[in-house]
Amino acid sequence: MGWNSWNTFGENIHESLIEETAAALVETGLAEIGYRFVNIDDCWHAEARDDEERLTWDAAKFPGGIPRLAEAVHGMGFGFGIYSCAGTHTCAGRVASFGNEEKDAQTFADWGVDFLKYDYCNKPFGVDGRTLYFRMGQALRSTGRHIIFSACEWGNTEPWLWGRQAGCHMWRTTGDISDSWESIKAIGFSQFGKELYAGPNAWNDPDMLVVGMKGVGNVAAGGCSLDEYKTHFALWCLLAAPLLIGCDVRSIDAESLAILGNRRLVAVNQDKMGAQARLVGSDYHHWDHTLFPTLVKPLADGGLALGMFNLHDERTVQLQAAWEAIGLHDRRPCQVQDLWTGEDLGVHRSFFCAKAAPHAGVVVKLTPLPL
């Protein structure tokens, strides 16, 4: 959990932005809720490597230098993240790590980096991309510093099959997100079938959050409604996806803060069982899985997080989940709690149903009681 510069700021990053963001994460309470990494994405680099072939920073953007910035970010209680790429150049054309993996891993460790996002642009022709992630994973381990390794090859070579072995702690499963309902829907509801590959220290990553961008910034694409942002966040929590905020937290509005700061949903996301929700159906309803997907995430305390979503563009619908369909005995009573509001929705047997507006969801926790 943390923040990343790309979604809102793209190449327009500066050390004061990074420090102000860390301060804003503390002031808003988001840091205390668990957003503990401050990550710089692409475009922090100088034009070329230094005299000793080491990567170095753009001195106009980072006049105090990256090591000092890392120290400042650490001083505020955060981990510090940086970005490089497995190819010769990053996606935005900056100098990258191909052929210099050991040197760059050591540089990052020397700077106090705690998290590395590793992209996939400009890979030399004929080179097996997977090997490049194994190589950087090995280089990072050789530094002796614990650095979270985030692979970003967009799901091209099924990184869920080999990422864990390459030393990756998370891997992107899709192309880039944008701040629109179409993007959230396409990415968020395309994750089914990969749940067996996720677990503690190894996560499927459907890209960073756009909650709170409201149509402004680098990946802006019209913005989303409040219900759409809530669906986005609830879905990422159910999917046990990494939660990296992408908006400008210095000026975040109250509604977006309430979404990102919902402790019950964050607890579902961070649940120590580490299960990624699976898609289920129901025998009691004419489900259309495409229009009304129902997800269930088992939790370590024996409870289940249930999300039922209405992807219809105009109609409010009644959504229903039958216990049978989600792996419970059909007479098992369950205490139901609304995860958005915390409201106790009573004890239910056999099924639970509730209405959802277009693009909204019903997101609840089921706590099974004795039969």
Dig out the tokens for 4 from the structure: 């990343």
Among 5, 8, 21, 90, binds ligand GLA (CB under 6 A): 90
Name residues contacting ligand GLA, limited to 32-51 (CB under 6 A): 41-42
Q: How far is CA 235 from CA 43, 62, 239, in A?
A: 30, 36, 6
Q: Which stretch binds ligand GLA (CB under 6 A): 85-93, 97-105, 321-329, 341-349?
A: 85-93
The owner of tokens 């194994």 is 134
Q: Does 58 bind ligand GLA (CB under 6 A)?
A: no
Q: Which residue number, 93 or 215, has a Cβ lying nearer to ligand GLA? A: 93
Using DSSP, state whether 33 is helix, strand or coil: helix
Among 176, 227, 324, 338, binds ligand GLA (CB under 6 A): 176
Write the interaction track for ligand GLA spanning residues 116-135; mark x where CB under 6 A is met and - where it is not: ---x----------------
Name residues contacting ligand GLA, limited to 134-153 (CB under 6 A): 152
Contact assessment for residue 94 and residue 82, using Cβ atoms and an 8 Å cutoff: no
Q: Is 176 a catalytic residue?
A: yes
Among 13, 25, 30, 91, binds ligand GLA (CB under 6 A): 91
Q: Which residues contact 321 (CB under 8 A, 6 or more apart)?
A: 280, 282, 294, 296, 306, 308, 351, 352, 353
Min separation Cβ 266 and ligand GLA, Å: 22
Q: Which residue number, 96 or 277, has a Cβ lying nearer to ligand GLA? A: 96
Q: Which residue number, 176 or 324, has a Cβ lying nearer to ligand GLA? A: 176
Min separation Cβ 85 and ligand GLA, Å: 8
Q: Which residues contact 93 (CB under 8 A, 6 or more apart)?
A: none
**CA neighbours within 13 Å on the CB side: how many for 179?**
23
Q: Which stretch binds ligand GLA (CB under 6 A): 20-28, 86-94, 246-254, 354-362?
A: 86-94
Q: Does 101 bind ligand GLA (CB under 6 A)?
A: no
Give first-to-last CA distance, the chain, whole Å: 37
Q: Which residues contact 102 (CB under 8 A, 6 or more apart)?
A: 139, 142
Q: Report phi then psi at 122, rounded to 5.
A: 55, 40
Min separation Cβ 90 and ligand GLA, Å: 6
* Distance, CA of 14 to CA of 158 (rounded, Å): 34
* Number of residues lying near ligand GLA (CB under 6 A): 9
Dig out the tokens for 233 from the structure: 């966040």
Contact assessment for residue 150 and residue 205, using Cβ atoms and an 8 Å cutoff: yes
Name residues contacting ligand GLA, limited to 180-239 (CB under 6 A): none
Beta-carbon count within 10 A of 36 CB: 17
Closest CA to 140 of 173, 170, 115: 115
Min separation Cβ 66 and ligand GLA, Å: 17
Name residues contacting ligand GLA, limited to 270-329 (CB under 6 A): none
Q: Does 92 bind ligand GLA (CB under 6 A)?
A: yes
Using DSSP, state whether 8 is helix, strand or coil: helix
Q: Which residue number, 91 or 136, has a Cβ lying nearer to ligand GLA? A: 91
Q: Which stretch binds ligand GLA (CB under 6 A): 90-98, 104-112, 209-217, 238-246?
A: 90-98
Indicate if the alpha-carbon torsion angle 56, 60, 63, 68 is positive or negative: negative
The owner of tokens 């614990």 is 146
Min separation Cβ 206 and ligand GLA, Å: 12
Q: Is 119 a catalytic residue?
A: yes
Q: Which of 41, 42, 119, 207 is catalytic?
A: 119
Query: What residues act catalytically?
Result: 119, 176
Binding positions for ligand GLA, rule: CB under 6 A: 6, 41-42, 90-92, 119, 152, 176
